[in-house]
A and B are shown apart, each in its own frame.
Chain A
């Protein structure tokens, strides 16, 4: 398993978290009849997580379960299903947990809205501070060495 978790921060963590897993990842050679299908296949399996391991996509997981699930995705593609149909099927079967990209639904809206809302609040706060400080410039007589960083 490629264990991205191990990569950063502390080597120690890797040992604690990942002990006991095999660490060779799967390399799935091209197996779709057309380049278009191949590209869709790769995009899909990179977006699903392996249900058995930690932070590993279906594309990279070496476990048998992942191989079965890849086969499922391939069969559905060959049967002419659209990407959305395949995604819906996987979600109905395994829940939102399988998607690396959380969907935008009621239960996850807070997650998607947090960055924008925070940014908005931050910018408004900054502008308020600046307005208040700008009014003080005339009164502020201190003018020491203000050249360098």
Chain B
């Protein structure tokens, strides 16, 4: 009964999404007031139906209803309740439901947020979102329905993949998805502007907070995923340039470019068509990411054939969605001209380079991710592309970007006058270089060629970001929240660069074989293996080791790395033990029994690794702070007056 209710809700949601799209897009085109008024009820109904579907799926999991195929494949009666709920998005079909539900939530938020904007524009935004919802719902119902029944029902489920049985599953996918889906709102704003054929600086001001919000969620989601990988996967890595990781990173790079390009469009009325293109590309990349990786094409060319319906549908959906957006773009972009000028050393130039470098970096990641696929398709042979490709090629664009940021942040709009600002630029650079060399050659020994460069760049970014806010404070000028947010985000980036450099350069790692009572040395630490004991969990059993860590003889920690075997899938996982300190992380993973009472252990010391994730949170917090700026609230309050004078607002068209 409950699964059928869920299925019914999904169908209703799809019909409501169709109405939402139709009234939202056709209404303004035919100037039908009533049609436009129907958009808000349609989107509200859609999200209620999606919440119902989501609730029905959760209920089926909680009730262990193994007559539902999706539940039977992804849960088990021994699975703790917490994971039974999180298992809803533990696999393909359920995560689509979450995706569409979150899209519905963003759509309602957008409907509320655009209430005071000109009616036709607001209606088109929600209409475009409705189109996306409709496409996804059609895909879900046609190829990936999570409510399908089994006859006869299975006695018990196949269990959730043990690697997903971690609190991280509750937080990481929803937050990352919120970011992914949020880019749909920026896309919808771009779509509405293109449908209207009008794009002015007000448009950029309306779009900015939505884009920044999506970006902040995406940042948090990627960081959480990286952290989760670090502590659950057992090997102590946090980024491997895997297709799945890249799929989330490419939209992030595009969204970062979009945020900066929107700033120029809002301030100067420039880069309009470029901004539109970025908004389309950012969301397209999250679609490609969601779909291509999910369908397994990136892993193996054969898996496309494994599920031909899904594969074909995905391709058709991508072509229709991205293709029509690009066609609309090609038609409208030439209309968006601007006569504004700027000098070579003006802020606009630096932001232009920011965009070029970010897009190049994104294209590089794209090329590397797709290379195995392209190479096979063209008959050039099978290829693997790993970190030895991504690291240098990515840095090729990113190192100049970091250096330009530290200079460009001092630049003014329109007129160059960078020579006025030579003093802070040179002073911060000297300070950064001194700190960089001191840290790398003094505090630590060794490191690589790029280590002092990395630390210096990070310090330079932080110092440069602080120059302007400190200057304002000294002159008793209030700092707008947008500037404060930008400063915070850039400081986060600086911290990120410093910590990733130190992790790359100064990680110490050693695999050892120890018997009870034996000791191994790594860096300044001694690790004493105290033997193995059996452990028992709710749905697994295994062995746990005890390791006493000391530093120059004084005790630091007692650590318990585990090796678990989950009963249902007979899967063995490594639960490494991690101690986080401010400046360093110690990780111990338990390997295998080597006989004679000896066990293999992986010991790892990573300096500053925690700051990689903290830095990402600082960046996201900066984004959120910027959204709360007064300007965006004023923009909304001022909008009704504008809409009274529409449709003749061409005021900033010339800007």
Q: Is the CB of A136 within 8 A of B512?
A: no
Q: Which of A2, A4, A26, A47 contacts B388 (CB 8 A)?
A: A47
**Chain A positions 68 through 92: 1 when the CB is less than 8 Å from some CB of chain B, otherwise 0:** 0000000000000000000000000
Please give, as numbers and ranges, the residues of chain B lying within 8 Å of A142 by CB-CB distance: 340, 654-655
**Chain B 294-342 residues near chain A, CB threshold 8 A:** 294, 296, 299, 339-342
Q: Which of B343, B356, B375 contacts A108 (CB 8 A)?
A: B375
A130 to B349, CA, bound (A): 7
A137 to B387, CA, bound (A): 44
A95 to B376, CA, bound (A): 13
Q: Is the CB of A138 within 8 A of B299?
A: no
Q: Is the CB of A136 within 8 A of B339?
A: yes
**Chain B positions 353 through 392: 1 when the CB is less than 8 Å from some CB of chain A, otherwise 0:** 1001101100110011001000100001111111111000
Q: Is the CB of A115 within 8 A of B360?
A: yes
Q: Which of A27, A134, A149 contacts B601 (CB 8 A)?
A: A27
Please give, as numbers and ranges, the residues of chain A lying within 8 Å of B649 by CB-CB distance: none
Q: Which of A11, A27, A114, A116 contacts B600 (CB 8 A)?
A: A27
Shortest CB-to-CB span from A74 to chain B, Å, is 14
With A27-B511, A136-B339 given, is the CB distance from A100 to B387 under 8 Å? Answer: yes
Chain A residue nearest to B371 (CB atoms) is A111
A78 to B526, CA, bound (A): 30
Q: Is the CB of A129 within 8 A of B352?
A: yes
**Chain A 124-147 residues near chain B, CB threshold 8 A:** 125-126, 129-130, 133-140, 142-143, 146
Please give, as numbers and ranges, the residues of chain A lying within 8 Å of B384 by CB-CB distance: 49, 96-100, 102
Question: B8 at the A/B interface (Cβ < 8 Å)?
Answer: no
Q: Is the CB of A23 within 8 A of B244?
A: no
Question: B161 at the A/B interface (Cβ < 8 Å)?
Answer: yes
Question: B119 at the A/B interface (Cβ < 8 Å)?
Answer: no
Please give, as numbers and ranges, the residues of chain B lying within 8 Å of A138 by CB-CB distance: 341
Chain A residue nearest to B368 (CB atoms) is A111
Q: Is the CB of A8 within 8 A of B229?
A: yes
Shortest CB-to-CB span from B179 to chain A, Å, is 11
A126 to B384, CA, bound (A): 33
A5 to B300, CA, bound (A): 13
Please give, as numbers and ranges, the residues of chain B lying within 8 Å of A134 by CB-CB distance: 341-344
Please give, as numbers and ranges, the residues of chain A lying within 8 Å of B95 by CB-CB distance: 10-12
Q: Which of A23, A49, A112 contacts B571 (CB 8 A)?
A: A23
Q: Is the CB of A55 within 8 A of B511?
A: no
Shortest CB-to-CB span from B199 to chain A, Å, is 17
Stretch of B9-17, B220-228, B550-558 that contacts chain A: B220-228
Question: B149 at the A/B interface (Cβ < 8 Å)?
Answer: no
Q: Is the CB of B226 within 8 A of A11?
A: no
Chain B residue nearest to A21 (CB atoms) is B571
Question: B413 at the A/B interface (Cβ < 8 Å)?
Answer: yes
Shortest CB-to-CB span from B568 to chain A, Å, is 12
Chain B residue nearest to A49 (CB atoms) is B384
Q: How many A-B residue contacts, CB cutoff 8 Å?
A: 268
Please give, as numbers and ranges, the residues of chain B lying within 8 Å of A4 by CB-CB distance: 229, 233, 235, 237, 240, 242, 245
Q: Which of B173, B235, B339, B511 contacts A28 (CB 8 A)?
A: B511
Please give, as numbers and ranges, the residues of chain B lying within 8 Å of A97 by CB-CB distance: 381-384
Question: B109 at the A/B interface (Cβ < 8 Å)?
Answer: no
Question: B497 at the A/B interface (Cβ < 8 Å)?
Answer: no
A136 to B172, CA, bound (A): 48
Q: Is the CB of B340 within 8 A of A9?
A: no
Q: Which of B92, B229, B412, B572 contacts A12 (CB 8 A)?
A: B92
Please give, as numbers and ranges, the residues of chain B lying within 8 Å of A114 by CB-CB distance: 363-364, 367
Q: Which of B225, B293, B356, B511 contacts A30 (CB 8 A)?
A: B511
Please give, as numbers and ranges, the residues of chain B lying within 8 Å of A13 by CB-CB distance: 244, 293-294
**Chain A 1-29 residues near chain B, CB threshold 8 A:** 2-29
Q: Is the CB of B389 within 8 A of A24?
A: no
A74 to B604, CA, bound (A): 23
Chain A residue nearest to B341 (CB atoms) is A136
Shortest CB-to-CB span from A87 to chain B, Å, is 12
Q: Is the CB of A135 within 8 A of B341?
A: yes
Q: List 30 A-B contacts (CB under 8 A).
A: A4-B242, A8-B244, A9-B248, A10-B294, A11-B164, A12-B95, A14-B163, A16-B91, A17-B244, A21-B571, A22-B572, A27-B589, A27-B591, A27-B592, A29-B511, A29-B601, A55-B386, A98-B384, A100-B385, A101-B388, A107-B381, A115-B363, A122-B360, A126-B353, A133-B348, A134-B341, A136-B339, A137-B341, A146-B412, A149-B486
Nearest 9 A/B pairs, CB to CB: A136-B341, A7-B229, A100-B386, A27-B591, A101-B388, A137-B341, A29-B513, A122-B356, A8-B245
